[in-house]
Amino acid sequence: MADDLGRRATRHAVVIGGSLAGLLAARVLAEHAEKVTVVERDRLPEGPEARPGVPQGRHLHVLIAGGQRALDELLPGFMDELTALGAPKVGVPEDMVQWQNGVWYRRTPATAHFYTGPRPQLEWLVRQRVLADPRIELVEGVETVGLTGDSSRVRGVRLRERGAGADKEPRTLAADLVVDASGRSTKAADWLAGIGAEAPHEETLDTGLAYGTRFYRSPDADPDATDALGYYIVPNPGQVYGGVALPLGDGRHLVTLSGLRGDEPPTEEGAFEDYAKRLPHPVLSDWLARAEPVSPVYGFRKTANIRRRYDRPGRRPAGFLATGDALCAFNPIYGQGMAVAALSAVALRRALADPRRTPTTRTVQRALLDASRQAWDISAGADKKMPGATGDAARPGPMDKVLGWYLSRVQARAAGDPVVGTPFRAALTLTAPLSSLFAPAVARAVLFGPPAETPSGPPLRRDA
């Protein structure tokens, strides 16, 4: 069989991992394959509930605009359905009290929106939509332990049942295409070695950032206090503590506090709220003092940026692709993961349907990497400036100094000047390229205009 991922070549596709990236990849592959099997380690819950295979599932997730557009393209009407489930829509900068780089953002009319409902809710809705397709089968409670085939082509996967009393002997599931969507802890390097192939080089960048999250019953409404929907204290190299509070849509807020290695947020009762006092302003700490905690504190430590370079030369087989966090995992603090999962599925669809060329493993894998490139540039670009950052991607590049100077001016003006703030938010939400920050009007404001006036304290009310 030629290295052809088109409709005629792919009779059966296997997707490893039933989270967002895997489900959305399956949705696309069903347009080309006779059958798609999604292999998932967990037994999936019936409803919108957290599960062990998503260790970050209890933490803050936002669906930024780039992900919203992609999900509506893949699953028409999806955003209307998510809204009907009660997922809050938060406009920025209008609905947020935000501190960044020493200044408060003006709460001017929103130019970007994100959704802040619970991650399990969104994943459950995607699962319902995707698995309604009769061409897609879900196999639960089974882990992938290897690949079949050789270094020239993958022929399937080796699976083993999980759980007490399960048959531990692996079985083989034949496939014309295997897609690894198993997450940042993928075992693909071992799987590839097992068939005589080479693992991709991993680029890493780790700030040691850790965070803790707790659910709170929102304080009683105080019309004289604020009309904001949430708070956001953004860390930077000179101020490494972060804090955010956002609504979940059911009377609760989710609060996340972050710090770097050696000074992580505690998970003990009471100590979490005390940690909030390290933030550069007490506005979030004061909010916590009025709110009612309704959960334990959940800690999370796996926040390194990891990119696996399948696009580089190596002895790797046809018929094997990686997507989602198995390809490119970001520091979750930037809120890009769900959007990139959806954008990657859109890239997969376009690559497979490209009328100009026959899709091959190499061309499709490059398209998937390109779909994650801007998010990587944002996340890694910011993290390499943080104190104590480690990893080969932490080394500054030849243009980093010049770009850093320009982007620092962008950020200084984004807080108060909509001419700069609007394209800045569009780039961060993956709806416009980073090159839009160099458009003539933006460049004039950045290079020649002074920073606009910003609030002297927390802007508790929207701009008049």
The β-bridge partners of 160 are 143
pLDDT of residue 2: 46
**SS3 (DSSP) at 35:** strand
pLDDT of residue 223: 52
Nearest partner of 316 among 351, 361, 347, 359, judged by Cα: 361
pLDDT of residue 164: 57
Nearest partner of 254 among 297, 301, 195, 317, judged by Cα: 297
pLDDT of residue 152: 96
Alpha-carbon distance of 148 to 156, in angstroms, equals: 5
Nearest partner of 178 among 195, 204, 153, judged by Cα: 153
The β-bridge partners of 299 are 212
Q: Which DSSP state fits 437? A: G
pLDDT of residue 54: 72
Domains for the chain: give ranges and CATH numbers.
12-61+122-204+303-381 (3.50.50.60), 209-300 (3.30.70.2450), 393-448 (no CATH)
| Residue at token pair 């990657």 | 344
Stated pTM of the model: 0.95
DSSP codes joined into one string, 306-333: EEEETTS-----BTEEE-GGGTEE--GG
Asked if 423 and 439 touch (Cβ cutoff 8 Å), the reply is yes
Tokens of 269: 């009762």
User: Cβ of 194: how many Cβ atoms within 10 Å?
Assistant: 15
Q: Strands, E, within 218-304: which ranges?
A: 230-233, 242-247, 252-259, 292-293, 298-300
DSSP codes joined into one string, 121-163: HHHHHHHHHHHTSTTEEEE-SEEEEEEEE-SSBEEEEEEEE-S
Cα dihedral value 87, 104, 58, 247, nearest 10:
-30
Alpha-carbon distance of 342 to 371, in angstroms, equals: 9
Q: ω before 93 within 30° of 0 (cis)?
A: yes
Task: Return per-residue pLDDT of the chain as tens, 464 residues.
Answer: 346 675 445 799 999 999 999 999 999 999 999 999 999 999 988 888 887 777 676 788 999 999 999 999 999 999 999 999 999 999 999 999 999 999 999 999 999 999 999 999 999 999 999 999 999 999 999 999 999 999 999 999 999 998 755 567 899 999 999 999 999 999 999 999 999 999 999 999 999 999 999 999 988 766 557 899 999 999 999 999 999 999 999 899 999 999 999 999 999 988 999 999 999 999 999 999 999 999 999 999 889 999 999 999 999 999 999 999 999 999 998 999 999 999 999 999 999 999 888 899 999 999 999 999 999 999 999 999 999 999 999 988 888 889 989 999 999 999 999 999 999 999 999 999 999 999 999 999 999 999 999 999 999 999 87
**SS3 (DSSP) at 70:** helix
